[in-house]
Each structure stands twice: as structure tokens, then as C-alpha cells.
């Protein structure tokens, strides 16, 4: 996921004048889950941030924290007595946790996830380095959070340990000469995921108040931070989850189809993860997902009365989002196989995602006076 070079430069800035937000929908001042945003906010921006903070973001991190805790407990249970049924249970819980991860990865470029050390995005650097993982297993002891292990930790490492290599069979954790070391490394990777996510989820319980009160459209406002984070994360879906494996974005000097570059190559849930991420973007834009009540970024666009061609920008964003979801639903898993046998559905999703990136990274920020402060090197 971290193959993209993120540059701390300002890419675009237009319409920097503040916008008067006056949105009203039923349930706009619902306090939701946790946090202390309060229910007496009168402005439209307060209501939108309140919904996204309390009813979308906070429940997302809470669900993820619960999922990785369950996974870690199951891995401890498996390591105590490896068996086929216990491995199957761990594999199922891993998939659930991974899906929960991509549902909140949209928020990982600001706030507690971004200020954490290491930053939370290091839990999903793919493709994983199987060579480094096997080296660590052979060594029997390693510090996961060193630079050399950046691609040998997190969810991609568990994907390999549970579905590929020596960990794909019970023998890898029982009779194999490195079984004890492999169990130790499996536990260490899982514990690190649990620790890092637990810390961020806990921090959000208090940071949500800061998020809700971060008014305006400046770079440091909650609106500015959220849009930049959402756009940066969604470009990973366009570029890394689809573009590079499809050979549409070159790695090095050539761009052949590269099936092993997909996310979750060993478990084969690449499309499920990408779809979950796109739906997360849809939830932020429309204010749904989690316990959301329908107030989202789209309400800012509606209030700005932004045009797109002869129609409304808000209508265009809704339509393109819906089609993108449909396009991802049409891709068969495993993605590594489908891009080799029939790449058309994945290529259609890539093209639609390009359209969505343009809307979310250029048109919407321009309409709202928000600066895009991250850079990428793919040329969009």
C-alpha cells in the first residue's frame, strides 16, 4: 500500500473563500456512539462533522478494535494446540478483521492514526515480503517495527502466514522444524496489530471532540483533513489495488500484468477489500455507514450549489460513486486470477475510479475551498 511516494506539497487550491453551510436533515444532532460532541450544534457543519465523527468514524474504529482482539485471541488459542478447525477459525476471523481495517483506512492519514508511532498505515504495506518473513521465522526473534520489517508485518504478513508458505498447512505449525518459530512470529504480528489499533481506537474516543469542533475549510480543519485523507486512501485503491496489478501503472520500466501485486494475494479476498474501501468512501460522502444518519460531505457540496456541466456536482458524485460500487461488485475474486483470465471488469472499475478521483480530488475540493496537500507520482 505504501509504494506511492507521498509528497508534502500543495497540488491545487481554488475558491478559498469560506462557505456558509446551512444543511438540515432529521437526526442531525443525534449524539450517536461515544464522544462528547453534544446535541446542541446549530450550524450545518457542526451537524455533518457530528454525524461523521460519532456515527461513522468512531464506530468504525471500535468495530476494527473488536475484530483484531477476537483474531488475536483465536491465534493464541490456535498456537496452544494447532488443528485444522482452529486454523479455519483464525482464517475466518482474519478476513473479518481485514475487511474492518479497509472500512476505516480512509481516516488513517490524520488524527490519532497519523500521529501514532509507527503510523497506522504501516499495518497494510503490500505486497508483503515473504523473503523477509521467512528470514524472521528462521531467526526466531525480531523487532517487527523496524524499517527492514515494514513489508513483513501487519495484515499482509498474516495473509501469508495463514494462507501461504509454510503456514498454509497444519504441518507448518506442528511437525515442521520451524513450527515453534512460526507460531512465535504469527503471535508477534497479531499482537502488534492489536496493540497499534487498540491505541488508535482509544485515542479516537477523545479526539472525536476535536474532530467535531474543527470548523472551517482550512488545511488543519476537520473538513480539510478528512477530504485529504479520504482522497489519498482512495487513490491506493485506484493505483495499488487495481492499476499496478492490471499493468496500467508501471512499476519500474515496464507494466505487465502483475497478479502477485494484489492485496491479500494468499487469502484471495482482494476484491472484497477494495469494495469495502469504496463503500467506506461512499459512506463518508453520503453520511451513511456505521450508525450514520445521512449527513455527509455531499451536504457541503449541495450547500455550495456547485455545478458540474449543466447539472449539479452533488448528483454527479452520487452517480459515479454508485457505478463504481457496481463495477467492483462485478469483479470475481480472486483478483489475481481474474485479471489474467478476464481483466475487463477490473479495467472498468479502474476507469470508473479514475473518474471518481477527479471528482473527489479536484471538483469537490474546489467547490468547498479545500486545499489538497498530498502529492502522488502517478500523474492521475
Span 173-212, pLDDT tens digits: 999 999 999 999 999 999 999 999 999 999 999 999 999 9
pLDDT at 277 over 60: yes
If pLDDT is split at 50, 70 and 90, which confidence band does 376 have?
Answer: low
pLDDT for res 166 = 57
Q: Identify whether the C-beta of residue 2 lies closer than 8 Å to the C-beta of residue 129.
A: no
> Which domain does 167 fall in, by range?
44-368
Identify whether 130 is part of a domain.
Answer: yes
CATH number at residue 173: 1.20.1420.20
Identify whether 10 is part of a domain.
Answer: no
Place of cell 473538513: 223
Identify whether 19 is part of a domain.
Answer: no
pLDDT for res 44 = 63
Picking from 39-48, 126-135, 331-340, which range would have the lowest pLDDT averaged per residue? Answer: 39-48
Nearest one of 77, 66, 136 to 100, comparing CA atoms:
66
pLDDT for res 71 = 98
pLDDT for res 141 = 84
pLDDT for res 321 = 98
Crossing angle for the helix pair 84-104 and 270-286, to the nearest 10 degrees: 30
Nearest one of 329, 238, 233, 215 to 281, comparing CA atoms:
233
If pLDDT is split at 50, 70 and 90, which confidence band does 167 have?
Answer: low
∠ at Cα 251 (249, 252), nearest 5°? 130
- The average pLDDT across 39-65 equals 83
Q: What is the pLDDT of residues 104-132, one digit of tens each?
A: 999 999 999 999 999 999 999 999 999 99
153 contacts: CB under 8 Å, gap ≥ 6: 122, 123, 125, 144, 145, 189, 192
- What mean pLDDT, rounded, does the chain reach? 88
pTM score above 0.85: yes
Identify whether 11 is part of a domain.
Answer: no
Identify whether 22 is part of a domain.
Answer: no
Specify the DSSP element, H or E, that contains 307.
strand 307-308
Q: Number of structural domains, the chain?
A: 1
Q: Quickly list H helices, the chain.
A: 44-50, 58-80, 84-104, 111-115, 130-139, 154-163, 179-213, 222-236, 244-246, 270-286, 297-304, 313-329, 335-341, 344-358, 364-368
pLDDT at 340 over 70: yes
Q: What is the pLDDT of residues 233-243, one digit of tens each?
A: 999 999 999 99
pLDDT for res 165 = 66
pLDDT for res 291 = 83
pLDDT at 379 over 80: no
289 contacts: CB under 8 Å, gap ≥ 6: 56, 60, 103, 279, 280, 282, 283
Identify whether 226 is part of a domain.
Answer: yes
CA distance 353 to 323: 9
pLDDT at 11 over 50: no
Percent of the chain predicted with pLDDT > 70: 85
Identify whether 32 is part of a domain.
Answer: no
pLDDT for res 254 = 63
Amino acid at each position: 500500500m505504501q509504494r506511492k511516494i507521498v509528497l508534502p506539497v500543495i497540488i491545487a487550491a481554488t475558491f478559498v473563500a469560506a462557505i456558509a453551510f446551512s444543511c438540515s436533515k432529521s437526526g442531525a444532532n443525534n449524539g450517536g456512539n461515544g464522544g462528547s460532541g453534544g446535541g446542541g450544534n446549530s450550524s450545518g457543519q457542526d451537524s455533518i462533522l457530528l454525524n461523521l465523527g460519532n456515527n461513522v468514524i468512531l464506530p468504525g474504529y471500535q468495530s476494527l478494535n473488536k475484530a483484531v482482539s477476537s483474531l488475536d485471541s483465536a491465534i493464541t488459542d490456535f498456537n496452544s494446540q494447532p488443528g485444522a478447525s482452529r486454523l479455519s477459525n483464525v482464517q475466518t476471523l482474519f478476513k473479518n478483521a481485514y475487511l474492518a481495517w479497509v472500512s476505516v483506512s480512509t481516516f488513517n492519514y490524520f488524527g490519532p492514526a497519523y500521529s501514532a508511532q509507527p503510523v497506522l498505515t504501516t499495518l497494510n504495506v503490500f505486497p508483503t515480503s515473504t523473503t523477509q518473513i521467512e528470514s524472521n521465522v528462521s531467526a526466531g526473534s525480531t523487532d517487527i517495527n523496524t524499517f527492514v520489517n515494514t513489508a513483513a508485518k501487519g495484515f499482509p504478513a498474516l495473509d501469508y502466514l495463514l494462507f501461504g508458505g509454510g503456514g498454509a498447512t497444519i504441518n507448518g505449525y506442528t511437525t515442521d522444524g520451524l513450527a515453534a518459530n512460526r507460531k512465535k512470529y504469527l503471535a508477534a504480528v497479531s499482537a502488534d496489530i492489536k496493540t497499534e489499533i487498540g491505541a488508535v481506537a482509544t485515542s479516537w474516543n477523545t479526539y472525536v471532540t476535536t474532530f467535531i469542533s474543527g470548523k472551517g475549510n482550512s488545511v488543519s480543519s476537520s473538513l480539510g483533513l478528512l477530504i485529504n485523507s479520504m482522497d489519498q486512501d482512495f487513490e491506493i485503491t485506484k493505483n495499488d489495488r487495481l492499476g499496478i496489478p492490471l499493468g496500467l501503472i508501471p512499476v519500474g520500466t515496464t507494466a505487465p500484468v502483475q497478479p502477485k501485486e494484489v492485496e491479500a494475494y494468499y487469502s484471495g479476498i482482494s476484491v472484497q477489500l477494495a469494495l469495502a474501501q469504496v463503500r467506506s468512501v461512499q459512506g463518508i460522502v453520503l453520511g451513511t455507514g456505521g450508525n450514520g444518519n445521512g449527513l455527509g460531505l455531499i451536504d457541503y457540496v449541495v450547500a455550495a450549489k456547485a455545478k458540474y456541466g449543466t447539472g449539479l456536482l452533488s448528483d454527479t458524485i452520487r452517480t459515479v460513486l454508485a457505478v463504481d460500487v457496481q463495477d467492483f461488485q462485478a469483479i470475481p475474486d480472486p483478483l489475481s486470477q481474474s485479471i489474467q483470465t478476464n481483466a475487463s471488469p477490473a479495467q472498468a472499475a479502474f476507469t470508473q475510479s479514475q473518474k471518481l478521483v477527479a471528482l473527489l480530488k479536484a471538483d469537490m475540493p474546489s467547490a468547498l475551498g479545500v486545499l489538497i496537500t498530498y502529492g502522488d507520482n502517478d500523474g492521475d
